[in-house]
Structure 1
Amino acid sequence: MCARPWDLITVKSHQELSVPASDWVQTHASKIKAGGRVLDYACGSGRHAVWLAKQGFQVMAIDRDLASLQQIKSQHPDLAIQTEAIDLETDAWSLSHLGQFDAVIVTNYLYRPFLQKLPNLLNSQGVLIYETFAIGNEAFGKPSNPDFLLTPNELLGFASNMRILAYEDLTVTQPKPACVQRVCAVPLQSKT
């Protein structure tokens, strides 16, 4: 039997669970309501879901990879993490059944057709923490396809209807060298 592409990703993502939560996520998690509901969107191996749950947040981890989601639950049954397998790139994209969240976390994932819908998942006091690869990353390896790399200031444009709390477009060295853009933003009416 041939391995499906996401099965190969799963093997690697299970190994990545030992990678600590992103510095960006750790820094801006303090802006999330204490004990609040957090959506880890395209959670992969669950490194952020696990870290956030250990900080006392109620986490919903979603991804298309059922094996990764099952591993998160089996390895951390004591943590407040719910999981749901969802193909985040289908035309029928709807997460309204999940309700709204105090925070939405997205790292190392980019699917432009639904980027503008992410703020709809936040409640009025919610926080969006987003970090992914940018143009220039091809010098360091994958992803190198422009479809998966943000263009200069693209995250700022995406969050133009939000209040930007922090933004960076830089090269990082940890956990491995990469060009990234990252934003922390709240709805315009938020008092955060």
Structure 2
Amino acid sequence: MARGLRVTGVDRDAAALAGLAGIAETVVADIEGGPWPLPADAAFDAVVVTNYLHRPLWPQLLAAVAPGGRLIYETFAIGNETVGKPSNPAFLLLPGELLSAVQGQLRVIGYEDGFVSSPREAYLQRVCAVRERSGDAAPRYAL
């Protein structure tokens, strides 16, 4: 809000959203056990997801990226079980899985899959992708 941005935070835990009071719209909802809490036509210039994986929500998350908008997604990957939690394979991405989830729907700007030592040891996948605006031409490069 202070920089002219409208922010919407979604979490099932109202206490987790309390820090956003006065700076963001908050939506308390169990997005795994209940219906998607945002209108079907809700579109955002940026959708940011961190340290969270619930594969059935990928269609809603991708659909929420507005034309010209970005998806920034980072969460744990296979290998993380060797350095800490989460260690349950159901909550760890398979090699290339996050990249596959966005391909064909968004244009990938950056992707990483590997080990980080800071701020704590973890195996992560990260993607930054954009939804092309209709009529956008493929990028042209000069050599």
What TM-score bracket applies, with the shorter chain setting the length? 0.7 to 0.9
- Following TM superposition, where does structure 1 have runs of at least 4 consecutive aligned residues deviating by more than 6 angstroms? none
Q: What does residue 111 of structure 2 align with?
A: 167
Q: What does residue 29 of structure 2 align with?
A: 86
Structure 1: 5+ residue stretches without partners: 1-52
Please show how residues 117-128 of structure 1 align to structure 2 within 5 Å.
Answer: 117-128=60-71
Residue 176 (structure 1) aligned to one of 106, 120, 125: 120
Residue 96 (structure 1) aligned to one of 15, 22, 39: 39
Change (3 A) 1:129 1:54: farther
Paired residues of 1:116 and 1:158 also in contact (CA < 8 A): no
> Larger C-alpha radius of gyration, 1 or 2?
2
1:138 correspondence with 2:89: no
Change (3 A) 1:124 1:97: same
Structure 2: 5+ residue stretches without partners: none
Q: What does residue 72 of structure 1 align with?
A: 20
Please show how residues 46-65 of structure 1 align to structure 2 within 5 Å.
Answer: 57-65=5-13
Q: Distance in 2 between matches of 1:175 and 1:118?
A: 26
Please state how far the C-alpha of 1:54 moved relative to its aligned partner: 6.5
Paired residues of 2:73 and 2:126 also in contact (CA < 8 A): yes
Question: Which one has the bigger helix percentage?
Answer: 1
Paired residues of 1:126 and 1:187 also in contact (CA < 8 A): yes
- Per the alignment, in what secondary structure is the counterpart of residue 7 of structure 2? strand
Change (3 A) 1:133 1:54: farther
Please state how far the C-alpha of 1:99 moved relative to its aligned partner: 2.0
Q: Distance in 2 between matches of 1:165 and 1:171?
A: 20
Please state how far the C-alpha of 1:108 moved relative to its aligned partner: 0.2
Please state how far the C-alpha of 1:167 moved relative to its aligned partner: 0.2
- Per the alignment, in what secondary structure is the counterpart of residue 157 of structure 1? helix
Residue 48 (structure 2) aligned to one of 89, 105, 126: 105
Paired residues of 1:169 and 1:181 also in contact (CA < 8 A): yes
Q: What count of residue pairs does the alignment treat as equivalent?
A: 135
Change (3 A) 1:68 1:91: closer
Change (3 A) 1:183 1:160: same
Please state how far the C-alpha of 1:86 moved relative to its aligned partner: 1.2
Matched-pair identity in % = 47
1:129-164 alpha-carbon deviations (Å, 9 max, x no partner): 000000000011100001100000001110112110
1:48-91 alpha-carbon deviations (Å, 9 max, x no partner): xxxxx666532111100011212432xxx4xx312110111025
